[in-house]
Amino acid sequence: MKRTLFFIIALVFIASLSFSQTKVNINNLEEYGGAMFKIDDDKPYSGRVFALYKSTDNKKLEGLYRDGLKNGKWTWWYENGDIYSKGSFRAGLMSGQWEFYYSNGKIMSVGHYRNGDGTNEDKNGIPIHGRQSKWAFWHKNGFKSDEQAWKNGKRDGVFTSWHYNGVRASEITYINGNINGMWTYWNERGEKEREGTVEEYNILVRLEEEAKAAAEMAAAEMAAAGWFQKGYNAGMNREYNAEISLYLKAIELNPDYADAYINLGIAYQKQNNYTKAIQMWKKAIELKPDDADAYYNLGNAYKDQDNLIKAIQMWEKAIELNPDDADAYINLGIAYGKQNNYTKAIQMWKKAIEFKPDDADAYIKLGIAYGKQNNYTKAIQSYEKAIELKPDGTNTYVKLGIAYGKQNNYTKAIQSYEKAIELKPDYALAYWNRSISKDSVGDKSGGLEDTKKAARLGHTGAQDWLKENGYDW
C-alpha cells in the first residue's frame, strides 16, 4: 500500500513539473467561450504564458493558465522594464492581494480582490469590481493619496484622501455603497473648509479630481522639461546614446511632449537610424500637426532613405505651414534637380534666395539649374552673384568659365579659370579647362602647356590626351 501511494505521488509530481515547464507566447493562444486554447488544439490550455514588447524585447506579461482560465500569479510590466501590476487569479477571477505601480517604479495602489472580473476601472485604470477590505493609493511623488474600505466590490467604511503635498484632504463614510452622514474637506494647509451633503460632496470631488490631475500634469511636465534639457545637453556633447535615453525619459513623464519626439528623431538620425527617426517625427506630427519642423525633419529622413517623392511631400508640407522656411526651399531645389525637374528647382532656389539673399551656395545651385536648361546667360548672372558674395569660391570660377565657354566667350572663360588658378594654384581642372579655351582662341602652345600642367597635377583626362597624341608631361 505504501509503495502504491509513493508511485501516485511521484506521478503527480512529474505531471506538475511538466505542467510548470510549459511556456508559450500568449499571442499564440485563441479565446473560445471564455477559455484560452492553443491554435489547432481542442483542449483548454494549461501552462505558463508570456509576452514581449516588440520594440524592446522586454517582458510584457507572465502568468499561468489552468484549463483555459487565468490561475495563480500574474505579472505585467511597462515597456521600460518596470512592473505595472502583479497579483493572483483563481479560475479566471482576480483574487487576493494585488499591487499596481507607476511607470517611475513607485507604488500606485495595494489592495485585495474577491472574484474580481477586471471591469469598471477607476481613473488610474485599476479594476473596481471585486474589491475587498482595505485599499491604499499613492500619488506619483510617493505621498499617500487615498485609503478605502470595500466589501464585495462596494464602498463600505471610511474613505480618506490626501493632497499631493501629503496633507489630509477629505473623509467620508460609506455603508453598502452609499454615503452615510456628512463629508469633510480640508485645504492643502490642513484647515477644515467644508462639511456638506452628498450633492455638495459630488461637486467637490469633481473639482478636487480636476485640480489633482492638473497638479500632477504640471509636475510631470516640469520634470519632463528637465530631462529634455539634459538630453539636449548630451546631444551637444555628442553623447548620442545618452541623448536618446534622456529624451525617452522626458516622453515617459509627458507622453504628449512633441518637441521631445522631434529631438529624439534628430538623435536617431545622427546614428543613421532613419526608420526610428521617421517613427519619432510621425509621432510629433500626430501630437502637433502644425509643426513645420517635424515635417522638415521627416523630409530629411526620407531623403536619407533615397525616397525623394516622400521627402518632397514633407518639405512641401513644411513650407505650407511655414512659408518662410528657406532651408525647406533649398532642400526642394536639390530634390527637384535630382529628378531633372529644373523648372521647379529654379523656382525653389529663387524662393530660397528671397529669404536668404546672402546665400552664395543658393546662387551656385541656381546657376547649375539654369545651365541644365542651356540658359547660360542666367547661369552666368547667378555665378557672378555667388562670387560677389563669396569671392574665394574657386569652384564657382570654374563653373563661370564653363558657362562662358558654352557661349563661345573664351576670353571671359580664360579670365575665370585664371582667377580659379590664382586662388588655388594646384587646381588641375582649372588648367585643363583653360587649355581647351586657349585652343579655341588659337593659342595652341598655351593650351598644350596648360594640358601638361593639368597632367602633372593628376588630371587623368589631360594625361590620356597627351598619351594619345604622343606628348610627355
CA within 13 Å, CB half, 419? 18
Place of cell 493562444: 29
Does 90 reside within a domain? Answer: yes
pLDDT exceeding 90 applies to what percent of the chain?
76
Please answer whether residues 311 and 341 qualify as being in contact, where contact means their C-beta atoms are separated by less than 8 angstroms: no
Q: How many domains does the chain have?
A: 2
In a domain, 247, yes or no: no
Rounded Cα distance between 211 and 32, Å, is 44
Evaluate if residue 2 carries a pLDDT over 70: no
The pLDDT of residue 7 is above 70: no
Q: What is the pLDDT of residue 159?
A: 94
CB 271 within 8 A of CB 240: yes
Q: Is 245 inside a domain boundary?
A: no
Residue 430 CA to residue 395 CA, distance in Å, equals 9
The answer to whether 466 and 458 have CB atoms below 8 angstroms apart is: no
- Answer whether residue 10 shows pLDDT above 70: no
Q: Is the domain of 186 the same as that of 284?
A: no
What CATH code is carried by the domain that includes residue 313? 1.25.40.10
What pLDDT is stored for residue 210 in this prediction?
Answer: 81
Question: What is the DSSP annotation of 67-123?
Answer: TTEE-EEEEEE-TTS-EEEEEEEETTEEEEEEEEE-TTS-EEEEEEEEEE-S-SB-T
Say if residue 341 is exposed, middle or buried (CB neighbours under 10 Å; 0-12, 13-18, 19+): middle
Inform me whether the pLDDT recorded for 339 exceeds 90.
yes
Grid coordinates in use for 23? Answer: 511556456
Contact call for residues 149 and 133 (beta carbons, < 8 A): yes
Closest to 313 measured CA to CA, from 299, 303, 325, 323: 299
Establish if 405 belongs to a structural domain. Answer: yes
How high is the pLDDT of residue 423? Answer: 95
C-alpha cell at 458: 593628376
Is position 32 within any domain?
yes
Q: What is the CATH number of the domain that holds 117?
A: 3.90.930
Q: Which amino acid is at 262?
A: I
* Average pLDDT of the residues in 160-176: 93
Kindly tell me the burial class for residue 147, based on how many C-beta atoms sit within 10 Å of its own C-beta (0-12, 13-18, 19 or more): middle
Grid cell 585664371 — which residue?
A: 418
Q: In a 3-state reduction of DSSP, which class is residue 238?
A: coil
**Residue 216: inside a domain:** no
Domain edge (last residue) among 187, 208, 229: 208
d(CA 267, CA 246): 11
Lowest mean pLDDT among 32-41, 69-78, 188-197, 367-376: 188-197
What DSSP designation does 28 have?
Answer: G
Instruction: Identify whether residues 189 and 256 lie together within a single domain.
Output: no
What separation in angstroms does the CA of 351 have from each of 124, 160, 315, 346, 471?
52, 65, 14, 9, 50
**Residue 220's pLDDT is what?**
78
Residues 33 and 100 in one domain: yes
Maximum mean pLDDT: which of 10-19, 175-184, 249-258, 411-420: 411-420
Asked if residue 11 is part of any domain, the answer here is no
Regarding whether 408 and 277 lie in a shared domain, the answer is: yes
> Which of 189, 208, 227 is at the close of a domain?
208
The residue type at 327: D
Q: Is the pLDDT of residue 16 over 50?
A: no
Confidence category of residue 22, pLDDT binned at 50, 70, 90: low
For the purposes of burial, counting CB atoms within 10 Å of the CB of 293, is it exposed (0-12), middle (13-18) or buried (19 or more)? buried
Which 3 state secondary structure label does DSSP give 368?
Answer: helix
Is residue 424 one of the residues assigned to a domain? yes
Q: Which one of 190, 208, 226 terminates a domain? A: 208
Max mean pLDDT among 193-207, 266-280, 398-412 falls in: 398-412
Q: 265, 263, 262, 326: which is closest to 290 by C-alpha?
A: 262
Same domain, 262 and 199: no
- Name the residue range of residue 257's domain: 252-468
* pLDDT given at position 6: 46
- Average of pLDDT values for 325-335? 94
47 and 146 assigned to the same domain: yes
Q: Report which secondary-structure segment, H or E, holds 245.
A: helix 240-253
pLDDT in tens, 115-155: 999 999 998 899 999 999 999 999 999 999 999 999 999 99
Closest CA to 269 of 235, 222, 318: 235
Q: What is the pLDDT of residues 394-446, one digit of tens each?
A: 999 999 999 999 999 999 999 999 999 999 999 999 999 999 999 999 999 99
263 φ/ψ angles, rounded to the nearest 5 degrees:
-65, -35
Is the pLDDT at 69 greater than 90? The verdict is yes
Together in a domain, 33 and 116: yes
Buried b (16+ CB within 10 A) or exposed e, 385-404: bbbebeeebbbbbbbbbbbb
Average the pLDDT over 200-208 and give the result.
73
* Residue-level pLDDT at 216: 78
Co-location of 426 and 282 in the same domain: yes
Measured between alpha carbons, how far is 199 from 192 in angstroms, rounded to an integer?
19
**39 vs 83: CA distance, rounded Å:** 29
pLDDT level of residue 4 (50, 70, 90 thresholds): very low
pLDDT value of residue 198: 66
pLDDT at residue 32, rounded to an integer:
92
29 close to 45: Cβ distance less than 8 angstroms: yes
DSSP for 189-218, written as a single string: TS-EEEEE-HHHHHHHHHHHHHHHHHHHHH
Query: pLDDT tens digit string along 97-117?
Result: 999 999 999 999 999 999 999
